[in-house]
Chains A and B, each alone.
Chain A
Amino acid sequence: MRLPLLRLCCFAGLFSILASSAHSEDIVTQARQELELWHDSDLDESVADERFDTFLGYGNFSLLATFLIHQPTNAARLDPSDYGESFEGVRKRTLEARVGPAVAQLGEVYTTLARGVGLQIIENQVVDFDNGIDGFRTAWEDPRFRVELLAGRNSFGTREAALKAGSVGWTGLSMLDLALHGVQVDSSADAAGRARGRDRIGGGELNYRTAWGDLHASYFTRRYDPPAEGDSPPDGHGAYGAMSVYYGPAAVTLEGIDYRRYDWAYTIPPTGVRQHTTTLLNRTSHTVTFDPDDQRGYQAELLVNLFDGDLEVIANRAAGEDHDGELPYFEDYGQVQWTVLPSLIATGRAAETEETVDEGAKVVFFERITLGGNIYWSFADTWTLELDFETQKLQELDLATAEFTFPLQARDNILTVNLFHAPWLAVAVTHEWTNDPGETKDGWTFAEVNLQIMDRHQINIGGGSFRGGQLCSGGICRPLAPFTGARVNWQTTF
Chain B
Amino acid sequence: MTLMKWALGAVVVLSILVNSPIGSGAQEVKTHVPEFKLKTPEGKEMGLKDHLAKGPVLLNFWTTWCKPCQKELPELQKIYDKYREKGFTFFAISEDDQRTQARVRPTVRSRKYEFPVLMDPDHKVGNLFGVRSYPTNVLVGPDGKIAMNSQGYRKGDEKKMEAAIVKLLKESAQVPSNDEDASEESEGGDES
Residues of A near any B CB (own CB < 8 A):
1, 5, 8-9, 12-13, 15-17, 19-20, 22, 25, 27-35, 37, 46, 48, 50, 52-53, 55, 57, 62, 64, 69, 71, 110-112, 115-117, 120, 122-125, 143, 171, 174-175, 177, 207, 209, 214, 216, 242, 244, 246, 249-253, 255, 268-271, 273, 275-277, 287, 301, 303-305, 309, 312, 345, 374, 376, 378, 381-384, 420-423, 425-426, 450, 452, 454-456, 458, 472, 474-478, 490-494
Report the minimal beta-carbon distance from A89 to chain B, rounded to whole angstroms: 15
In the complex the two chains form, what is the Cα distance from A381 to B155 in whole Å?
Answer: 8
Question: Is the pair A277, B67 in contact by a Cβ cutoff of 8 Å?
Answer: yes
Of the candidates B2, B132, B154, which one forms a contact with A425 in the assembled complex, judged by CB atoms under 8 Å apart? B154
In the complex the two chains form, what is the Cα distance from A305 to B111 in whole Å?
Answer: 6
Question: Is the pair A50, B103 in contact by a Cβ cutoff of 8 Å?
Answer: no
Report the minimal beta-carbon distance from B44 to chain A, rounded to whole angstroms: 9
Of the candidates A250, A268, A277, A494, which one forms a contact with B98 in the assembled complex, judged by CB atoms under 8 Å apart? A268
Which residues from chain B contact A492 at a C-beta distance below 8 Å?
A: 14, 17
- Known A22-B21, A50-B9, A143-B45; contact A493-B146, beta-carbon cutoff 8 A: yes
The majority secondary structure among interface residues of chain B is mixed
Report the minimal beta-carbon distance from B176 to chain A, rounded to whole angstroms: 27
Question: Is the pair B109, A110 in contact by a Cβ cutoff of 8 Å?
Answer: no
In the complex the two chains form, what is the Cα distance from A8 to B14 in whole Å?
Answer: 11
Question: Is the pair A478, B2 in contact by a Cβ cutoff of 8 Å?
Answer: no
Number of A-B residue pairs, CB cutoff 8 Å, is: 272
Which residues from chain A contact B138 at a C-beta distance below 8 Å?
A: 493
Question: Is the pair B132, A478 in contact by a Cβ cutoff of 8 Å?
Answer: yes
Question: Is B32's beta carbon under 8 Å from chain A?
Answer: yes
- Known A31-B17, A476-B134; contact A305-B112, beta-carbon cutoff 8 A: yes
Residues of B near any A CB (own CB < 8 A):
2-3, 5-6, 9-10, 12-14, 16-17, 19-23, 26, 31-35, 41-43, 45, 63-69, 71, 74, 97-103, 105-107, 109-112, 121-124, 127-130, 132-135, 138, 144, 146-157, 159-160, 189
Question: Is the pair B13, A52 in contact by a Cβ cutoff of 8 Å?
Answer: yes
Question: Is the pair B22, A27 in contact by a Cβ cutoff of 8 Å?
Answer: no
- Known A1-B2, A30-B31; contact A120-B16, beta-carbon cutoff 8 A: no
Report the minimal beta-carbon distance from A141 to chain B, rounded to whole angstroms: 9
Question: Is the pair A122, B154 in contact by a Cβ cutoff of 8 Å?
Answer: no
Question: Is the pair A251, B17 in contact by a Cβ cutoff of 8 Å?
Answer: no
**Taking CB as reference atom, which chain A residue is nearest B8?**
A5
In the complex the two chains form, what is the Cα distance from A452 to B151 in whole Å?
Answer: 8
- Known A309-B111, A426-B152, A477-B66; contact A16-B34, beta-carbon cutoff 8 A: no
Question: Is the pair B121, A5 in contact by a Cβ cutoff of 8 Å?
Answer: no
Q: Supply 26 A–B pairs (Cβ within 8 Å), ascending by A.
A: A8-B13, A12-B13, A12-B16, A12-B17, A19-B20, A27-B32, A29-B22, A32-B129, A33-B17, A35-B6, A57-B34, A62-B34, A122-B123, A253-B106, A273-B99, A275-B64, A303-B107, A378-B156, A384-B154, A420-B154, A422-B157, A423-B160, A456-B146, A478-B134, A491-B130, A494-B23
Question: Is the pair B148, A455 in contact by a Cβ cutoff of 8 Å?
Answer: yes
Question: Is the pair A9, B122 in contact by a Cβ cutoff of 8 Å?
Answer: no
**Taking CB as reference atom, which chain B residue is nearest A269?**
B98
Which residues from chain A contact B149 at a C-beta distance below 8 Å?
A: 455-456, 493
Question: Is the pair B99, A5 in contact by a Cβ cutoff of 8 Å?
Answer: no
